[in-house]
A and B are shown apart, each in its own frame.
Chain A
Amino acid sequence: MTILINILALVGAAFILLAALGVLRFPDFYCRLHAAAKAGAFGGTLLLLAAGCYFQTPRVWAQIVLTILFFYLTTPVASHLLGRAARRGKIPMVGDDSDV
């Protein structure tokens, strides 16, 4: 169990670092949205699972499951709204020379 918790914590931190690097390095807004939405939510989920494997009481597991469900259900909604706002606000895409 200790090894599992260590691996989950390390991989979760690596995923959140990859999400931040993607947000820093990707060329346009929509690519950055993709990196922040998926990798960010996955890294947080892995770290929360590591904490759940450590505490192992029903109260903490209920709280962890609630947090993961909420985080995983709301991140796509927020990203979708941001993407729609950007598309309607005529934020340009890479490789799209036409008028959006």
Chain B
Amino acid sequence: MFFDAGDILHPVVEMAAEIMIVLAFLAAFRRLVIGPNAVDRVIVLDLLAGIFLCLAALFALATGDSIWLDVALVLAVVSFTGTLALARYLEQGDEE
């Protein structure tokens, strides 16, 4: 609150954090493509939601706009529900 919007993160720190998050996305996406089982792909989807949550929090810092934090909250809720449903589905599909 003592700074103008966009001044809070050092430009080098902001760029480094964005590059690390994009690299994380690429690594997780590679596992999503090559993952040998369905459960591997489900954990990657869970992790991708976490990566986008990190990106939303970083955008809130970079733009000084707290509306991005709503995005983070909704992503947390939706990713949990999706992972839960997919895990139940995979477990039931094996019993039959």
Contacts and interface: CB of A to CB of B under 8 A. Distances in A.
Interface of B is mostly: helix
B89 to A, nearest CB: 9
A14 B39 contact: no
Contacts of A20: 23-25, 27-28, 47, 51
Given A51-B60, A67-B72, A88-B94, A32 B23 contact: no
Interface residues of B, number: 54
Interface of B: 1-3, 8-10, 13-14, 16-18, 20-21, 23-25, 27-28, 30-31, 37, 39-40, 42-44, 46-47, 50-51, 53-54, 57-58, 60-61, 64, 66, 68-70, 72-73, 76-77, 80, 83-84, 87-88, 90-91, 94-95
5 contacts: A9-B13, A51-B61, A54-B8, A71-B76, A81-B83
Q: How large is the interface on A (under 10, 10 to 19, 20 to 34, 35 or more residues)?
A: 35 or more
Contacts of B57: 12, 44, 47-48, 50-51
A31 B58 CA distance: 28
Given A6-B10, A16-B51, 7 more contacts: A24-B30, A29-B40, A36-B43, A47-B61, A78-B87, A86-B37, A89-B39
